[in-house]
């Protein structure tokens, strides 16, 4: 049996960084949104009792370091199953980009394994997802959500209205750990307009969403590549240009599709990865099943 699941990337429409807790983790308040840029994760049963990972992109760990490997191990342990699987990742979401590519793949692997083994309801899968990473439960269901605490307490929000979004991944990579340590050394708190964002979503105002877009990491991450990507977005008519997650991707929200496409093309011409996308109201979805 073989199952393929589509795994959408996320952007952070807003991201406030709040107090640091005694255990070293930061409290955050963030509005998450899934978009049409996605990986495809295929899981198939194999006779060998192994978890084999294959990925279409270089520089992604294919052993135990891959989040799909962690997801499969956690799934099998939780249900006391021993089963061999090959997990094939067709990767389109840039890595270390603040787009939760790894988390989306892990969520997709869990969904496929649940169907393959006929185990795990929604609550059980969310529970396993949370043990892998803060973004993984969101990636399962997707849509528009507010996440607070360390990013694991979540509430669904009014869906983002249809609009055009361009995501640019500049050449520099920033790991989440690196971003937080920079934040700790230079800043205490970074609070934007999350309340305004929730209100703008509620009234389906694309302009309101663009003007409330905020990312607290921008206070400390000031790379010239990121500035260049933002300039491309704004020069092409973006209503905002904001970093996603801990970077280095930036996204722009557009009122016109042609402008969004032009911004993506210009960024590609300058050697950056870029995608003209739109918001989606779902997380992982099964696209193929072969019995």
Q: Which residues are catalytic?
A: 10, 135
Sheet holding 164-169, edge to edge: 240-243, 250-254, 164-169, 273-277
Q: What is the token pair recorded at 76?
A: 């099998």
Which CB atom, from 19 or from 177, has the smaller least distance to ligand ATP?
177
Secondary-structure breakdown of the chain: helix, strand, coil percentages, each rounded to the nearest 5: 35, 30, 35
95 binds ligand ATP (CB under 6 A): yes
Kindly indicate which of the ranges 77-85, 98-106, 180-188, 231-239 contains the residues binding ligand ATP, using the contact rule CB under 6 A: 98-106
Check residue 102 for interaction with ligand ATP (CB under 6 A). yes
14 binds ligand ATP (CB under 6 A): no
Distance of CA 231 to the CA centre of its chain: 23
Cβ-based neighbour number of residue 134 at 10 Å: 21
Q: Does 68 bind ligand ATP (CB under 6 A)?
A: yes
Q: Which is nearer to ligand ATP, 39 or 164 (CB)?
A: 39
According to CB under 6 A, which one of 97, 113, 157, 209 is a site residue for ligand ATP? 97
Q: Please name every residue paired with 241 in a beta bridge, in sequence order, or none if there are none.
A: 252
- Report the alpha-carbon distance of residue 230 to residue 80 in Å, rounded: 48
- Of the candidate spans 60-68, 111-119, 140-148, 226-234, the one that interacts with ligand ATP by CB under 6 A turns out to be 60-68
Question: And the tokens for 209?
Answer: 């969403």
* Of 244 and 259, CB closest to ligand ATP: 244
Q: Tokens representing 274?
A: 């870029």
Q: Smallest distance from the beta carbon of 19 to ligand ATP, in angstroms?
A: 20
Q: Is the dihedral of CA 73, 39, 168, 63 positive or negative?
A: positive
Backbone angles phi, psi at 229, to 5 degrees: -65, -40
| 206 binds ligand ATP per the rule CB under 6 A | no
Q: Does 188 bind ligand ATP (CB under 6 A)?
A: no
Residue in 13, 67, 221, 277 binding ligand ATP, rule: CB under 6 A: 67
Would you list the DSSP string of 157-200?
-PPPPS-EEEEEE-S----HHHHHHHHHHH-S-B---HHHHHHH
- Taking CB under 6 A as the criterion, the residue among 1, 46, 54, 61 binding ligand ATP is 61
- Report the residue from 31, 85, 89, 241 that binds ligand ATP according to the rule CB under 6 A: 89
Q: Are 223 and 170 in contact (CB under 8 A)?
A: yes
- Give me the residues that bind ligand ATP (CB under 6 A), please: 60-61, 65-68, 89, 95-103, 105, 135, 176, 245-246
């Amino acid at each position: 049996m073989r199952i393929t699941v589509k795994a959408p990337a996320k952007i952070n429409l807003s991201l406030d960084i709040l107090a640091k807790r005694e255990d070293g983790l930061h409290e955050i308040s963030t509005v998450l949104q899934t978009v049409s840029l996605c990986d495809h994760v295929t899981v198939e049963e194999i006779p060998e009792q192994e978890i084999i990972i294959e990925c279409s992109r270089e520089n992604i760990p294919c052993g135990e370091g891959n989040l799909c490997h962690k997801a499969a191990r956690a799934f099998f342990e939780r249900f006391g199953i021993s089963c061999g699987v090959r997990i094939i990742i067709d990767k389109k979401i840039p890595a270390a980009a603040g787009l939760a590519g790894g988390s989306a793949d892990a969520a997709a692997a869990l969904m496929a394994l649940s169907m393959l083994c006929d185990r795990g309801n929604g609550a059980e899968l969310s529970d396993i997802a949370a043990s892998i990473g803060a973004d993984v439960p969101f990636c399962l269901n997707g849509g528009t959500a507010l996440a607070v605490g360390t990013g694991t307490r979540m509430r669904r929000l009014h869906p983002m209205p249809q609009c055009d979004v361009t995501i640019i991944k500049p050449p520099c990579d920033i790991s989440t750990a690196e971003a937080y340590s920079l934040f700790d050394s230079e800043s205490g708190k970074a609070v934007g307009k999350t309340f305004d964002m929730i209100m703008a979503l509620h009234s389906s105002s694309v302009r309101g969403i663009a003007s409330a877009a905020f990312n607290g990491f921008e206070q400390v991450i000031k790379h010239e590549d990121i500035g260049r990507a933002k300039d491309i977005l704004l020069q092409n008519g973006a209503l905002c240009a904001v970093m996603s997650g801990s970077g280095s991707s930036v996204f722009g929200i557009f009122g016109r599709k042609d402008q969004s496409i032009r911004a993506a093309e210009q960024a590609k011409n300058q050697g950056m990865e870029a995608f003209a996308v739109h918001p989606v109201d779902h997380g992982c979805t099964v696209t193929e099943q072969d019995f």
